Amino acid sequence: MSRFTNRSYQKELLDGNDIPFADIRTNMQELNTINTILGGHAITLQGFRKLIGDRKKISVCEIGCGGGDNLVAIVNWCKKNKIEVHCTGIDLKMECIEFASQKEVLKGNTHWIVNNYAEVEFAERPDIIFSSLFCHHFTNESLVDQLRWMEQNSRIGFFINDLHRHWLAYHSIRILTQLFSKSFLVKNDAPLSVARGFVKNEWATFFQYAGIWNFQIQWKWAFRHLIIYQHAQ
């Protein structure tokens, strides 16, 4: 299993600029199903709940928000628990933002930004910043800058939900998507995303280079890491 010792830098199809939006939509819909079945949204909510504490009003920003499904999960949880939430979704692709902005539960409480997250300057910093299945799209070097940006632009802290690079995760998702997926993007990119993912000591190194120390790394099923950083109170 030596091929998983180091990250793959093979480019994912979704990172291309010439993908028809109909294919991107199918990809986002299937990823939402995968995240629901395999507990990805549940991990996002764990990170959010850890940082929100007992607050009854909160602002949250997702970078690389895609189709907005993580924000939907957060808003629904906040409504259930009578918490006032304001969301910001940032994505580089206009088509993703247009798709996400049509989700009924996000209308009226979400601000959308089409841009590279690193170029965004907030008039008022959000309480919490997070990403889900976003970091593995970047190089190790750019991730250090991303951690610093999240630390500098959040008021309470940030969390990351991303993939653990492991041979079993790779082959499992490859087989499942070949059997059940109708999206050529999912079939290609899902296993590749695992190969582009991280092991725990790599995350610790990124944080060390970023000069950020007050963080926790937790392994979660199915083959995810939940990384939480909280500003000193």
Domain membership of residue 22 as a residue range: 2-230
DSSP one-letter code for 129: E
Check residue 188 and give its pLDDT. 94
Q: The domain that contains 75 carries what CATH number?
A: 3.40.50.150
Is there a cis peptide before residue 42, judged by omega within 30 degrees of 0?
Answer: no
Give, for all 233 residues of the chain, the pLDDT tens digit: 457 889 998 988 877 777 888 888 888 888 888 888 888 999 999 999 999 999 999 999 999 999 999 999 999 999 999 999 999 999 999 989 999 999 999 999 999 999 999 999 999 999 999 999 999 999 999 999 999 999 999 999 999 999 999 999 999 999 999 998 989 988 999 999 999 999 999 999 999 999 999 999 999 999 999 999 999 97
Number of domain units in the chain: 1
Check residue 155 and give its pLDDT. 98
**DSSP character string of 79-121:** HHTT-EEEEEEEES-HHHHHHHTT-GGGTTTEEEEES-GGG--
Distance in angstroms (rounded) separating the CA atoms of residues 40 and 33: 10
Give the CA count within 13 Å in the CB-facing half-sphere of 88.
23
Check residue 2 and give its pLDDT. 55
3-state secondary structure (DSSP) of residue 131? strand
Check residue 19 and give its pLDDT. 81
pTM of the model: 0.94
Burial (CB < 10 A; 0-12, 13-18, 19+), residue 83, is middle
Check residue 185 and give its pLDDT. 87
Check residue 77 and give its pLDDT. 98
Check residue 124 and give its pLDDT. 96
